[in-house]
Amino acid sequence: MLKTLTRTALAAVAVGGLMASAAAQEFSFRFQSSDPSGNPNFELQQGWAESVKEKTDGRVEINLLPVEIHRGP
């Protein structure tokens, strides 16, 4: 029985350590928008990206890329 308790305790410590390191990770994403820079929809999307950063205390950062409009040759 002592062996089982020891193994269970060691497993709990290992899982707790893994969860703590996963929670401390930071993530950075790049998203391509379907809207050009300056478009009201793009501005709204940028506000969403900033909101995500604020709500995650900076652990999740989203870099939003506008679509480029090519005019002429």
pLDDT per residue over 5-60, tens digit each?
555 555 666 666 656 555 667 999 999 999 999 999 999 999 999 999 999 999 99
Does residue 13 form part of some domain?
Answer: yes
Range of the domain at 33: 2-65
Does residue 21 form part of some domain?
Answer: yes
Q: Is 63 helix (H, G, I), strand (E, B) or coil?
A: strand
Does residue 33 form part of some domain?
Answer: yes
Does residue 51 form part of some domain?
Answer: yes
Residue type, 43: E
Does residue 71 form part of some domain?
Answer: no
Rounded to two decimals, the pTM is 0.59
Minimal CA–CA distance to 64: which of 24, 25, 27, 37?
A: 37
Q: What is the pLDDT of residue 13?
A: 62
Does residue 22 form part of some domain?
Answer: yes
Does residue 70 form part of some domain?
Answer: no
Does residue 72 form part of some domain?
Answer: no
The tally of domains found in the chain comes to: 1
